[in-house]
Amino acid sequence: MARVRLFIRGGVDLATVLGMGQTFLWRPGRGGFFGTIQGRAVFLRQVDTETLEASASLPPEELSALVSRYFDAERDLEEVRRLLSEDPHCRRAVERFSGLRVLRQPFWECLAGFLLSSANNVRRIHRIVRKLAERYGEVQPVEGELQAVFPPPERLVDIPLEALYDCGTGFRARGLREAARRVASGEWDGDVLARLSEEEARARLMSGYGIGEKIADCVLLYALGFLEVFPLDVWMRRVLKELYFPDGRLPRRAERARWVRRRFPGVGGYAQLYLYHAARHGVLLDRAKLV
């Protein structure tokens, strides 16, 4: 069992980043968080704003590299925050919430999580993911506890849909299993997709059942490193309508993607992350009025 400390450039708010809805693989416990990275049981703890401590059954150098990549630890957030602050609404969100980061998650675990996100809520996505891990994932010891990791794609390929339903997946089971097949067979490979153009990678993901533009964009952003991608979900539709087009009418669906790309050049993913989090916490929108 190795335990390492990592420096996260620009800082990180661990509890927020792990719980806000860009990953669904973490549960709080023992003053930190237990979860899965790349099929490994990992324990994470916040030491100070720029320091994390990580434990796992791995050589220290491998653990360090795994977690460092996960948190995109070398990214210069000051530059990102500076660019975001040019937009008044993003600026408010940045001032209110420091320590948000776009994670760089393992491809399969990210894809599975967002396949389960459709017409769902964050708490229940967590519950479904945990159920799948408990039922089909390997149990690994970490930090004095036994942690069930999220199952690799090969493990889900032959599970009957009814068994997945029983974990609470609902109608998302078909898409999840089909995606597991493509990843297990090598048809979809995160390293390969990450090297394609944004458009080509998105198109390939959208060829999968249950993966439309929004879910594809979340995977491009949170797993494949396309930081300019701005996922358009229900919250962003509210934000655009209330904040950016308060009088006029919302641009047509196809128009919105181009609009956000031009509005937040190069940092669309961070812009979306901050707007999403702020809106959900009633900082930019009157949440009571909308929900």
Partner DNA sequence: CTCCAGGGGGACG
Partner DNA sequence: CGTCCCCATGGA
Binding site residues, DNA, CB under 7 A: 20-22, 117-124, 165-166, 168, 170-171, 206, 208-216, 218, 231, 233-236, 252-254, 272-273, 276, 280, 291
Closest to DNA by CB, 48 vs 288, is 288
Per-residue HEC secondary structure of 76-96 comes to CHHHHHHHHCCCHHHHHHHHH
Rounded to a whole number of angstroms, the minimum distance from the CB of residue 241 to DNA is: 13
DSSP the chain: -EEEEEE-TT---HHHHHHSSS---EEEETTEEEEEETTEEEEEEEEETTEEEEEESS-HHHHHHHHHHHTTTT--HHHHHHHHTTSHHHHHHHHH----------HHHHHHHHHTTTT--HHHHHHHHHHHHHHHSPEEEETTEEEEPPPPHHHHTT--HHHHHTTT-GGGHHHHHHHHHHHHHTSS-HHHHHHS-HHHHHHHHHTSTT--HHHHHHHHHHTS--TT-----HHHHHHIIIIISSSSPPPPHHHHHHHHHHHSTTTHHHHHHHHHHHHHTTSSS-HHHH-
Q: Which is nearer to DNA, 163 or 196 (CB)?
A: 163
Of 138 and 251, the one with the shorter C-beta distance to DNA is 251
Decide if 28 contacts 82 (C-beta within 8 A): no
Asked if residue 194 lies in contact with residue 224, where contact means CB atoms within 8 angstroms, the answer is yes
Q: How far is the CB of 21 from DNA (least distance, A)?
A: 3
Q: Which is nearer to DNA, 53 or 228 (CB)?
A: 228
Comparison of 40 and 172: residue with beta carbon closer to DNA: 172
Closest contact distance (angstroms) between CB of 208 and DNA is 7
Rounded to a whole number of angstroms, the minimum distance from the CB of residue 27 to DNA is: 16
Least distance from DNA to the Cβ atom of residue 1, Å: 31
Q: What's the min distance (Å) between Cβ of 61 and DNA?
A: 31
In the complex with DNA, the residue whose CB is nearer, 20 or 83, is 20
Smallest distance from DNA to CB 283, Å = 15
**216 vs 224, which CB is nearer to DNA?**
216
